[in-house]
Structure 1
Amino acid sequence: MPTDVEEAVAVTPARTPVKRTVLMCKPEYFTVVYRINPWMDPALPTDTSLAVTQWQALYDVYIGLGYDVQLIDPIDGLPDMVYAANGGFVIDNIAYGASFTYPQRQPEGPAYMDWFRENGFDVRVPAEINEGEGDFLLVGDTILAGTGFRSDSNSHDELGTIFGREVVTLGLVNPSFYHLDTAIAKLDETNIAYLPSAFDEPSLAILRERYPDAIIATEEDAAILGLNSYSDGYNVVIASRAKDFERQLRERGYNPIGVDLSELLLGGGGVKCCTLELRR
């Protein structure tokens, strides 16, 4: 008779990493001088050199995993530019540009679109307000698209027209999880993890139907942006303090890798926020 351990091993799927190409921006000008999300408090001190050191550790993890890491030059006066995921959404060499909600971040949109053009992407200038891969996640052939705080739901129609893929609208209701990538983690092309309390009831019904085997994150892990993670299908880079999420990932056959981005959390960002996937 097989033991419980042998049975667990037998049902744990074999996960296969897929090499990723990502865009990052070094936080040379990171600070918190305005408040556009609940995480930000200009009264609290920030340490730019520590932010750079923590970001470098994330960069080094990606290099160690064999990723192709591209860099965009930071711009003085744009402290949130480190959150590269918000700079656009890229599939099949088409880069759908970002159009930010708050004036403090609006210059980032053109800066990222310039980088896309200079690096050979087919750039589509947005007509609608959206904050890139912060609110758009490609899972399989489906684009999960968040709305409620930053990206206008009209951008979802624009997405569908540009990319010719199914777009599933999900409503965010908790201001602390104002971007979709703070409330959902894509683990591979069929699996996700998410925080139920971040969504309205119609969106929860969609998630439960489409992803019945999803990992359900704890409030504690979500509160340190544990879901704001990045996966290659096997290796999942997460907040090092997200211990229950780490446990659940291991049980599902993934390899969680913890990093400390506590300084960048002061601006409301984590692993995924610093990572824009480039799909050629």
Structure 2
Amino acid sequence: MCPPRYFAVDYAINPWMDPDTPVDRERALAQWAGLRDTYRRLGHTVEEIEPQPGLPDMVFAANSGLVLGGRVLGARFRAPQRGPEAEHYRRWFTGHGYHDITMPSRINEAEGDFAWTGRLLLAGTGFRTEPEAHAEAQEVFGVPVLSLRLVDPRFYHLDTALFVLSEATGDSPGEIAYYPPAFSPGSQRVLARLFPDAVIATDADAECFGLNGVSDNRHVVLPAEAAALAGRLADRGYEPVPVELSELRKGGGGPKCCTLEIRK
């Protein structure tokens, strides 16, 4: 995770960003700290990277890399404003003992558009990550990759429209939650076939970034406003953990955007 010390909305690179809307940085820092402390309370280790001036979106650490089995695929951002973040995160990985690092040749916004199910890497495209980056990820990790097309610009990253609730085990493909209208008709059919028991989000759930959640297979950290989704998750046996991230949402991010999951 990266503290939002320099968080601001000085430009608009997604539909949620409005430079004319004031940002309360102190409130953003407090909300971010609440998310970090929630992870620690749930028993997870949180590593922090030092934020850099001039990079207000560096707080959205999920876009900085994908880590599976200790192997790292770095990021290559579409928006030039975020481009320098990739090198800062690469240096962090190098300095923390990660030696198998590949920096992508194609535009690849990392966990923003990649979701690991434990058996299959779901990969989004349509607005940010290039389709060719999906093949690049398959070569790096040697795991099957399933391409999914996003069609609603409000849900420009896969992690705004889908997240993994529990990873695959035995005959189970794992469980996901997602918002079907964010995907092309063909991608909707694929998801319905692979995950027939998925939790389906409402319009209201999606619009408050409810699908930008983080699950450890039991606890599900998600925005406090996603009350309907939280209820459905509780009915499935998960423990919803609501957090308040309204200030960071002004930059187009929620819990998952602020969280890079390191799978060693």
What's the TM-score bracket when you normalise by the shorter of the two chains?
Answer: over 0.9
Describe how 1:90-169 pairs up with structure 2 within 5 A.
Answer: 90-121=67-98, 122-169=100-147
User: Which structure has the larger Rg over C-alpha atoms?
Assistant: 1
Aligned with 1:215 (options 179, 185, 199): 199
1:70 is aligned to: 47
Q: Name the amino acid aligned to 1:245.
A: L
Identity %: 51
Secondary structure, in 3 states, of the residue corresponding to 1:258? strand
In structure 2, give the amino acid aligned to 1:210. L
Q: What is the deviation of 1:252?
A: 0.0
Distance in 2, Cα, partners of 1:83 & 1:53: 15
Deviation at 1:130, TM superposition (A): 0.6
Matched, 1:32 2:9: yes
1:82 equivalent among 59, 74, 77: 59
- Cα offset, 1:140, TM superposition: 1.7
SS in structure 2 at match of 1:141: coil
Aligned residue number for residue 170 of structure 2: none
Distance 1:147 1:203 in 2: 11
Letter in 2 for 1:146: G
**What's 2:260 paired with?**
276
Q: How far 1:214 sits from its partner (Å)?
A: 0.1
Q: How many residues align?
A: 257
CA distance in 1, matches of 2:20, 2:240: 34
Q: What TM-score results when the alignment is normalised by the length of structure 1?
A: 0.91
Q: Partner of 2:28 in structure 1?
A: 51
1:252 matched residue in structure 2? 236
Aligned to 2:171: none
Of 172, 185, 198 in structure 2, the residue corresponding to residue 201 of structure 1 is 185
* Residue identity matched to 2:50: D
Q: State the partner residue of 1:225.
A: 209
Classify the secondary structure of the residue corresponding to 1:247.
Answer: helix
Q: Deviations over 1:84-122 (max 9, x none)?
A: 000010001111000000100000111111111111112
State the SS of the aligned residue for 2:28: helix
Match of 1:179 in 2: 157
CA distance in 2, matches of 1:233, 1:279: 14
2:8 maps to amino acid: T
Residue 181 of structure 1 deviates from its aligned partner by: 0.4
Unaligned 5+ runs, structure 1: 1-23
Matches of 1:203 and 1:117 in 2, distance apart?
Answer: 36
Structure 2: where are the runs of 5+ without partners? 168-173
The 3-state SS of whatever aligns with 2:76 is coil
Task: Measure, in 1, the Cα distance between the counterparts of 2:198 and 2:107.
Answer: 29
